[in-house]
Amino acid sequence: MGGSAVVTSAAGTPGPSPADSDLVRAARGLPVSRTPVWFMRQAGRSLPEYRALRAGTAMLAACQDPDLVTEITLQPVRRHGVDAAILFSDIVLPLVVAGVDIEIKPGVGPVVAEPVRSVADVDALPPLEPERLAFLETAVRRLVAELGPTPLIGFAGAPFTLATYLIEGGPSKEHARTKAFMYAEPEAWGRLLDRLAISAAVFLRAQVDAGASAVQLFDSWAGVLSAADYAERVLPHSRAVFDGLGDRNVPRIHFGVGTGELLPLIGDAGADVVGVDWRLPLDEAARRVGPQRSLQGNLDPAVLLADRATVDREVRRVVEQGRAARGHVFNLGHGVLPDTDPGVLTHVAELVHELTTSPARPTAPMP
Ligand code: CP3
């Protein structure tokens, strides 16, 4: 299942397997029955059923409990009718599993007990042993069985974004320490990102081999870099993560925030789909990325806090501008904000489907 399944049905139209779903097809630039939609951070605090289930369990403990992972991942699929599930996990989990002391503080984010500040700190980082990922394989296998034709997206944090947490010791705005380390210790920087790329690839391979139908690499904070620095000091390591998937036949999504100037480069790293935040209209993003790649995005998550007329107008605009892309996966430009009314998310998924279901599209093979 998953990685090795055929991509197109005999009829050349979407069929009832995840490898032939609208998500996978849009990611590859193939015709779809309607524009697929899912939401980054769809599993999480906007859902009361999530808050109930998570009560009393720390975030990173929940991520390692196959029962909780399965149930939390399924919640938004049941509720919103989205076209994909995304594994409930976190970008810092591979580091935690390898033995790095990290905690996710509620309302703050990942906090690292001993930040990486020297060449010796880089060399002391423990590698991720694939044998430690049995809990993840169990959760993914269960999910794939439960999800049936709905694809599961596996994910990992990109080397740069993970490096910002390790070096800053927690969330930061300017990422000044990270950049200072990048400039002052280019060799150790390269080694650090090499190691993070290897661990991200191990983490993604485990998910794909257990049945995930697509992967997303989150380089959330790459937008703080100039194109020149990104190209020289970061992109080769993100490319190494995708290369680490070898010939596993699943679409690759590559996402970052504030990446307007980096979009052509982000595409070059080996993705089938480039994620776009809300700052750039999708037709302009399509021009920058080119016709070889699909786009994912890009409704401003804050719009979901506005009135219904505004939500509808903005959804229509994103759908229209998305038609300029080779393929379009509807999403937000960044994660769901915790205050979002889940009813609005359900409405957006329905509206995207309604706006893009074309009865004129052939549903049977041409004679
Ligand atoms: O999208 C999904 O629904 C799947 C789950 C998912 C989580 N984290 C769960 C989570 C995904 C894809 C992530 C990725 C992630 N984690 C990123 C990249 C995406 C992005 O938003 O840019 C980053 C930067 C992190 C690091 C991280 N983990 C942050 C910044 C936070 C938020 C801290 C806070 O409390 O505001 C977390 C915690 C986290 N990860 C939560 C969830 C559901 C909230 C913790 C909780 O519910 O207690």
* The pLDDT value given to residue 360: 53
Q: What is the per-residue pLDDT across 128-179, written as a single tens digit (0 to 9) for each?
A: 999 999 999 999 999 999 999 999 999 999 999 999 999 999 999 999 999 9
Question: Which residue from 70, 90, 105 has its CB within 8 A of the most atoms of ligand 1, so it is best to mutate?
Answer: 90
Alpha-carbon distance 360 to 291, whole Å?
Answer: 24
- Residue 64 assigned to a binding site: no
pLDDT average, residue stretch 20-32: 98
Residue nearest to atom 20 of ligand 1 (CA): 220
**Which tokens in the block code for residue 312?**
């509808």
Question: Treating both helix axes as pointing N-terminal to C-terminal, what angle do 66-80 and 134-147 enclose, rounded to 10 degrees?
Answer: 30
Q: Token digits for 160?
A: 């740069």
As a whole number of angstroms, the distance between CA 267 and CA 249 comes to: 18
Q: Is 358 annotated as a binding residue?
A: no
Which is nearest to 337 in space by CA: 306, 302, 309, 308? Answer: 302
Residue 108 has pLDDT above 90, yes or no: yes
Between 14 and 308, where is the model more confident? 308
**What's the CATH fold of domain 36-356?**
TIM Barrel (3.20.20)
Average pLDDT over residues 65-77: 98
List 332's β-bridge partners, or say none.
299
pLDDT band at 90 (very low <50, low <70, confident <90, very high): very high
Q: Considering only CA atoms, which residue is closest to atom 8 of ligand 1?
A: 90
Task: Return the domain boundaries, the chain.
Answer: 36-356
Is 75 part of any known ligand binding site? no
Q: pLDDT category, 364, cuts 50, 70, 90?
A: low
Ligand 1 site, CB within 6 A: 40-45, 54, 59, 86, 88-91, 104, 106-110, 155, 171, 218, 220, 335
Residue 361 has pLDDT above 90, yes or no: no
CA of 268 to the centre of ligand 1 (A): 26
Q: Are 201 and 241 in contact (CB under 8 A)?
A: yes
Q: How far apart are CA 208 and CA 77, in angstroms?
A: 19
Pocket probe for ligand 1: among 75, 77, 104, the residue whose CB has the most ligand atoms within 8 Å is 104
**Ligand 1: centre distance to CA 297 (Å):** 18
Residue 284 phi, psi dihedral angles, 5° rounding: -70, -40
Q: What pLDDT does 3 receive?
A: 38
- Rounded Cα–Cα distance for residues 337 and 202 (Å): 30
Amino acid at 244: G
From CA 135, how far away is CA 284, in angstroms rounded? 42
165 is in an annotated binding site: yes
Q: Whose CA is nearest to atom 31 of ligand 1?
A: 109
* Confidence label for 367 from pLDDT (cuts 50, 70 and 90): very low
Q: What is the mean pLDDT of residues 200-215?
A: 98
* pLDDT of 14 over the 90 cut: no
In this prediction, residue 178 carries a pLDDT of: 98
Distance 215 CA to ligand 1 centre (A): 16
Task: Give catalytic residue positions.
Answer: 41, 45, 54, 90, 165
- Decide if 222 contacts 237 (C-beta within 8 A): no
pTM of the entire predicted model? 0.94
